[in-house]
Amino acid sequence: MSSAASPVLPAASAPIRVMVVDDAVVVRGLVSRWVNEETDMAVVASLRTGREAVDQIERINPDVVILDVEMPDLDGISALPLLLQKKRDLIVIMASTLTLRNAEVSLRALALGAADYIPKPESNRAVTTSTTFRRDLVEKIRHLGAARARRAGVQPAAARPAALRVPDPAGRPQPGVARAEGAGAALHGVAAPIRLRPFGAIMPRVLLIGSSTGGPQALTQVIAGLKAVIAKAPVLITQHMPPTFTTILAQHIARACGYPAREAEHGEVIKAGNVYVAPGGRHMLVTRRDNIPVIVLDDGPPVNYCKPAVDPLFTSAAGVWGPQILATILTGMGSDGALGGAEIVHAGGNVIAQDEASSVVWGMPAAAAHAGICAAVLPLDQIASRIVRAFSGVS
């Protein structure tokens, strides 16, 4: 007697349950309204303090918490571990204004288990008029909430279709919501084959890294394993981050690798033994001056809604180092880095992407992987060792 396996049906779709925790009533009201206007998410609680959030987390059972850093009674950084203790799979997005102290606190929160952070405009009035803050917040909730739902075996509710980003006639990436084929497949849980390219035979002389959501934690882990590489090659990093935050990120990277790491300066010569971080609010590119590679900081418009963006770094580097580039694309939303990565591959260089299982959001690395430009797609804990091998001449 033969038997057939029963089909596995997806769980019913459900909106992302959002808890907003902020002591400013204006912020709570605006964020609640923005979230409730989306088809795939809903606010289930709007609270004033971290203490209220900790006391009510189990009863309300949200998927995502927007957690202000500065609040009375119990602030965000103190509430965070208590929230995660009560709900281990909770997605927490820290919200803070752009100060050095808040940048440090936000990055510390990532190490304590927060999934991401979002910089708030400095005044309530600015919050009401900032389309960037609204768009970034909604997209972070959507992507992080959907990733959590997939891990739990739940089909996320459908969002409104987003605009596709297309190149202009000259091939330059245009601003828009990056939704490349791979990123879209990852967002909606559709499996697609990944075809890897063989590693190029030329040993790399420079390492480029692009990252976004989940990037600070991933960068710290990868950089810590690259001391042998940094000693003989420069490392250039573009992490989607605002001003002030990149200053603190560079300090964290320096502590992790033991080499000088700082925000790049316009016109400085690029040297081995140094890590250069794109400063928030400016694109980092490279060029040659008297045949010597130098940093170029560009104040042009955002690319892929990001500034700094990864594509300008990758594309400019392809024309400077060509086949001597190894580029790595880590966790992040959207598809930034895929077009620039294609330019690197066209010039003879190599691209490595982080795999889905170890990514906080598999958007940027997914776009590169499904575009067929990667020589390897690896778990985060294997990326550093693979980079070391490449810089040792092992393909």
Q: How far apart are CA 30 and CA 27, in angstroms?
A: 5
- Residue of 32, 212, 316, 335 marked active site: 212
Nearest CA-CA partner of 383 in 257, 228, 273, 219 = 219
- Residue of 143, 240, 252, 370 marked active site: 240
- State whether residue 317 is helix, strand or coil: helix
* Annotated catalytic residue 32: no
Nearest CA-CA partner of 392 in 208, 223, 233, 235 = 233
According to DSSP, the residues that pair with 288 across neighbouring strands are 293
- Please compute, for residue 193, the number of CA atoms within 13 A of its CA located in the half-sphere on the CB side: 2
Omega of the bond leading into 308 within 30 degrees of 0 (cis): yes
Residue with tokens 């590119």, as numbered in its chain: 285
* Annotated catalytic residue 212: yes
Nearest CA-CA partner of 158 in 10, 306, 33, 57 = 10
Give the pair of three-digit tokens for residue 233.
């090659």
Alpha-carbon distances of 389 from 198, 222, 393, rounded to whole Å: 15, 14, 6
* Annotated catalytic residue 316: no
- Residue of 336, 355, 358, 359 marked active site: 336
- Residues assigned a catalytic role: 212, 240, 336
